[in-house]
Amino acid sequence: MNKSFFVTGTDTEVGKTVASMAVMQAVSKAGYSVAGYKPVAAGSKETEQGPMNSDAIRLRECTTVEVSYQDVNPCLLHAACSPHIAAELESETVDFNQLSDGLKRLQSRSEFTLVEGAGGWRVPVTYDTTLADWVVGEKLPVILVVGIKLGCLNHAYLTAEAIRRDGMEIVGWVANRVNPGTEHYCDIVKTLEHHLKVPKLGEIPYMPSIKSRDLSGYIDIAPLGL
């Protein structure tokens, strides 16, 4: 048995990795084996093991089965920009077959696989294709992460509309408080609950060093069928 989901956001820097970690931690605490997957990452840092993406490192840390960095992130682009631009700069190609093969390997090793996107739903990986094209081909149910800040309602509405127009199911959404000073936080969340009409998996508060914390208590995995 394997359940797989794709995590997308209303924009870049809205907390996809934080939400992915929270979901993975909650699923692991429920007793399931978990694997995180960052098929395409743009932006790397040097480590003792070579260049790696910080978000992929976090997903690997939350993975409960034995995996290599390459298993978690098969396509690493070094420039911290849109994947299609980074790929062109580095004379690389984002190969959907490679991404699919990597996903299948993780699915065969775990009971739950969480796939984190790059940027928002329509992030381009070439001038003619987006990562969403691959997600549609894999038929992955979608978890939407909304970074709660001024302007997020419009971004959330448009993203949800695009996902559904592509024929994909949004199974749940996560509110991530990226700006502690945002006014009318509760009203914004209430509005999103009314408009998105899918289960809210949780609300993640703003906190320092958030990526080093156990966030499982902020997530309800029941809507994911677990």
| CB 38 within 8 Å of CB 147 | no
Cα 20 to Cα 24: distance, rounded to the nearest angstrom: 6
Residue with tokens 């991404």: 99
**Residue 12 marked in a binding site:** no
Question: Using CA of residue 135, residue 118, residue 146, residue 213, what is the dihedral sign?
Answer: positive
**Residue 133 marked in a binding site:** no
| Catalytic-labelled residue, pool 3, 29, 38, 45 | 38
| CB 198 within 8 Å of CB 226 | no
**Residue 15 marked in a binding site:** yes
Task: Assess whether 38 carries a catalytic annotation.
Answer: yes
**Residue 73 marked in a binding site:** no
**Residue 18 marked in a binding site:** yes
Bridge partners of 203, per DSSP, are 175
**Residue 119 marked in a binding site:** yes
Q: Which whole-number Å values give the CA distances from 182 to 120, 150, 155, 179, 210, in the listed order? A: 21, 7, 16, 6, 18
**Residue 17 marked in a binding site:** yes
**Residue 13 marked in a binding site:** yes
Cα 39 to Cα 45: distance, rounded to the nearest angstrom: 17
**Residue 102 marked in a binding site:** no
Q: How many helices (H) and strands (E) does the chain have?
A: 8, 10
| Catalytic sites, residue numbers | 38
Known binding residues for Mg(2+) are 17, 55, 116
Known binding residues for ATP are 13-18, 55, 116-119, 176-177
Known binding residues are 13-18, 55, 116-119, 176-177
